[in-house]
Amino acid sequence: MTQSVLPIAPEVEVIEKTFAALKSRAPQQRALSAKERIARLDALYNEVWKRRDDLKTAMWNEFRKPGEEVDLTEIFVVKSEIKAVKRGLRKWMRPKRLPGGLAQVGGASWVRPEAKGVALIISPWNYPMQLVLRPLIAAIAAGCTAMVKPSELTGETAQLVAEIVSAVFNSDEVAVVQGGVETATNLLKLPFNHIYFTGSPAVGKIVMKAASQHPCSVTLELGGKSPVIVDDLKSMRDVAKKVAWAKLSNAGQICVAPDYVLVPADREADFVAAIKGAMVEMYPGEASANKDYQRIVATHHAERISKLVDDAIARGAKCVMGGDVDVKGCYVAPTVLTNIDPNAEILEEEIFGPVLPIIPYTSFDEAVRFVNDRPTPLALYVFSKRKRFVESVLSQIQSGGASINNCVIHVSSNHLPFGGLGNSGIGSGHGEYGFTEFTHLRGVYEQRFDGAGALLMPPYAPWKTKLVDRLLRWL
């Protein structure tokens, strides 16, 4: 089923007309069976698979993303998410019987999962397909209609996403609206039933404010400075390899990328040597000439990262690896910084690039304070062989999610909730948790035969007063 793709930055009247069609369709969409919803998701993946080579070309053109990483971090993720939905959707959709209390004697209680209605999905550029389609899969599974706005910074991929969606869905089921800030502003004025936003905390606040005007529920997948805390390990080699992979993958443009590493002061030199070795091993030779090493998505982002590095060095930081930046070429070399001033901007702002600050600590409490003095991170990474150390970190530092002895991997799970806390987000996605975000859990009570409720209604004769007193003492 091929529908026409909306023009880029459509007029307000076009957006409003599209929204009206989605709203009109919402009751029918809510009534779709699990089989019908799954059929739509299968068709979506089939279309993604058909456009696999086109997607690889688009992402290479936009920020030199290797085809292998398009397969692993975009297409595989979409396939895995659909597989998880197909496995669990019938169970998730079923009404769930619940026990009642004394007041509900003679009745039955249950929860009906029902689609919220029309959803708005606003997605970022760093994973320009999967971060569009993963929440869309959840919305379709829940029975919602949806309007999707991909990032304008990856316009070639956004156009492909629009073509894929238009080939699978009627325009009153899912509509892709492309455009920049003005388009997003126009979308946020509409009375959606749910907004799923992935992006920065600053823009997340704007989205939340707009949602409050209707009001509607929100899922905010934001970011923050995700720390790595390393225990005093015998060898730093394994830690360094995992941290290097997580930091340099996608050129560090991952919302859960390690933002800085806290390492015991007397092991700092060991870790620095190990991380430099791991980065070189992963991207040998000149990184700028390595076909596996990606670029920053836009010149203004490369310039922002360059300024963070320059500010840190001006304050006394040592650049022990990398530091090269070609703003026009959107290239930032794998970079490691030590001796960083606590007031450096790079320790305040999310880096979102391939720059890794190393922070030595002399006591466990010092490391905990360093993290807790900053907003709650989206992810927390702990490397230790000691269960007590790990438990102490998890119990004393809050985060959206966490990985022990690895980085980033927890995000790939369809069984774990993925979401932030406080400044790093609201709500969760992935698997059943994504389905729940787009679902209203409707509580239903049915009186099947009269209980003793009438005995507790006015007028309150003395014997009723005694009955109420005895109930309170008995319960």
Quick check: 19 and 118 in contact, CB under 8 A? yes
Q: Which one from 74, 221, 432, 437 is the annotated catalytic residue?
A: 221
Q: Is pLDDT at 106 greater than 90 in this prediction? A: no
Quick check: 98 and 445 in contact, CB under 8 A? no
Q: What is the DSSP string of 190-212?
A: S--SEEEEES-HHHHHHHHHHHT
- The pLDDT, as a whole number, for residue 216 is 95
Burial class (CB in 10 A: 0-12, 13-18, 19+), 50: exposed
Domains of the chain: 12-222+426-442 (3.40.605.10), 227-413 (3.40.309.10)
Q: How confident is the model at residue 457 (pLDDT cuts 50, 70, 90)?
A: confident
Q: How confident is the model at residue 330 (pLDDT cuts 50, 70, 90)?
A: very high
Tell me: the pLDDT tens digits for 386-411?
Answer: 999 999 999 999 999 999 999 999 99
Tell me: the pLDDT tens digits for 171-204?
Answer: 999 999 999 999 999 999 999 999 999 999 999 9
**What is the enclosing helix (H) or strand (E) of 221?**
strand 217-221
Q: Is pLDDT at 450 greater than 90 in this prediction? A: no
Annotated catalytic residue 349: no
**Contacts for 380 with CB less than 8 Å, ≥ 6 apart:** 226, 227, 229, 371, 393, 394, 397, 399, 401, 402, 403
Proportion of the chain in helix, strand, coil states, percent, rounded to 5: 50, 20, 35
Q: Which one from 216, 255, 330, 407 is the annotated catalytic residue?
A: 255
- The pLDDT, as a whole number, for residue 449 is 83
Residue type, 416: L
Quick check: 216 and 193 in contact, CB under 8 A? yes
Annotated catalytic residue 330: no
Tell me: the pLDDT tens digits for 360-379?
Answer: 999 999 999 999 999 999 99
